[in-house]
Amino acid sequence: MTDYKNLLKKIHEKYLPSTKGSLASYIPELAKIDPNLFAISITTVDGKTYSHGDINSFFTLQSTSKPFTYGLALMDHGPEFVHQRVGVEPSGEAFNSIIELEKNSHRPFNPMINSGAIAVASMIQDKLLDNNEIYIRSDRMLDLFSSLCGKKLEINEQVFLSEKKTAHRNRAIAHLLRHFDVIGNDIEESLDLYFKQCSVEINIIDLSQMAATLANQGVQPISKIKIYDEQYITDMIGLIFTCGMYDTAGAWAYQVGIPAKSGVSGAIFGVIPGVMGIAVYSPLIDDHGHSVRGVNAIKDISQELKLNIFRQQKR
């Protein structure tokens, strides 16, 4: 039996002294966070969680939310509709690239970069329920994310408003998408949903359960509730792998071999299909927007547990 708890403790001790990276100051609220926070968690597909570090610290999902909203769009509309408006190719550019849209179609390259995630957010609409009540899009997103963690999640209003007020670049991207008819007229509503999904607050155990739900074919491994249709899980994991680490996706595939998604809050998760979800949180990020301690911790976990998905699989 692998001693996961001890492994996480060892890796935590190894990287805690590192102070490389900086806080994501372009969202003012994120610049106020304690840079020393560091937490790691693994949840296996049979529902066991092992964690170490600041497990009670809350942080916002930021871009780690993108695959989960993409999954919701797939369930709402199917892949054909979704991929008429957003592609499936890595862009080789930074997450917030404003110039790169696909030639001719003018689609964003993929759902993991900001332009693609804003296009995806525009596809999530309010729903009219049988009792004539309106189920608003942000509640639909929040309820879905809550079911992934098996508990009621909240939006961090300060972070949401902080990003909304300062999001000139994302607003420019959204208007460009409107210009090319990738999104409709509800530009501010689409941006609001995007900022809200980025501002959902979780802790490290929640994030490892979200990742483990992907590893477990869309079934939350503790509640056993089916959250995503199995057919869409491979789409989600495929794009997490090729596009989740943006302009370092190639090096990541080569060095680590684990589908992974990062966010500028310092959250990062990895998915080992059929095995486990891994989550790390530490707010100091590198120039690509990845947690420095997070990247190192996942690399070590991959090596120590031989998780590179390109290794020979034993059956």
Q: Which is nearer to ligand GLN, 116 or 289 (CB)?
A: 289
Q: How far apart are CA 265 and CA 247, in angstroms?
A: 18
Q: Which is nearer to ligand GLN, 96 or 296 (CB)?
A: 96
Counting contacts by CB under 6 A, is residue 198 touching ligand GLN? yes
Identify the residue among 43, 69, 170, 291 touching ligand GLN (CB under 6 A).
170
Counting contacts by CB under 6 A, is residue 29 touching ligand GLN? no
Q: Smallest gap, in angstroms, from Cβ of residue 264 to ligand GLN?
A: 4
| Residue positions annotated with a catalytic role | 63, 66, 194, 246, 264
Q: Smallest gap, in angstroms, from Cβ of residue 60 to ligand GLN?
A: 8
Residues 6+ positions from 159 with CB-CB distance below 8 Å: 27, 29, 30, 60, 198, 199, 201
Q: Smallest gap, in angstroms, from Cβ of residue 307 to ligand GLN?
A: 24
Tell which positions 202-261 bind ligand GLN, by CB under 6 A: none
Q: Which is nearer to ligand GLN, 62 or 91 (CB)?
A: 62
Q: Smallest gap, in angstroms, from Cβ of residue 45 to ligand GLN?
A: 26
Tokens of residue 241, six digits: 């792998």
Counting contacts by CB under 6 A, is residue 115 touching ligand GLN? no
Q: How far apart are CA 134 and CA 267, in angstroms?
A: 32
Q: Which is nearer to ligand GLN, 4 or 95 (CB)?
A: 95
Counting contacts by CB under 6 A, is residue 148 touching ligand GLN? no
Q: How far apart are CA 205 and CA 88, in angstroms?
A: 29
Sign of CA dihedral 236, 90, 21, 309: positive
Identify the residue among 38, 50, 70, 95 touching ligand GLN (CB under 6 A).
95
Number of C-beta neighbours around residue 230 at 10 A: 10
What's 285's DSSP letter?
A: B
Identify the residue among 41, 51, 62, 138 touching ligand GLN (CB under 6 A).
62
Q: How far apart are CA 266 and CA 284, in angstroms?
A: 6
Contact 59, 41 (CB under 8 A): no
Q: Find the angle CA(214)-CA(72)-CA(260) to the nearest 5 degrees.
A: 35
Residue whose Cβ sits closest to ligand GLN: 63
One-letter amino acid at 42 equals I
Number of C-beta neighbours around residue 130 at 10 A: 5
One-letter amino acid at 35 equals P
- H helices present in 35-151, as ranges: 66-77, 79-85, 114-123, 137-149
Each residue 289-308 as x (binds ligand GLN by CB under 6 A) or -, in order, gives: x-------------------
Q: Which is nearer to ligand GLN, 44 or 265 (CB)?
A: 265
Identify the residue among 41, 51, 91, 114 touching ligand GLN (CB under 6 A).
114
Q: Which is nearer to ligand GLN, 144 or 268 (CB)?
A: 268
Sheet with 49-53, edge to edge strand ranges: 49-53, 39-44, 276-281, 267-272, 260-262
Binding site for ligand GLN (CB under 6 A): 62-63, 95-96, 114, 163, 170, 198, 263-264, 289
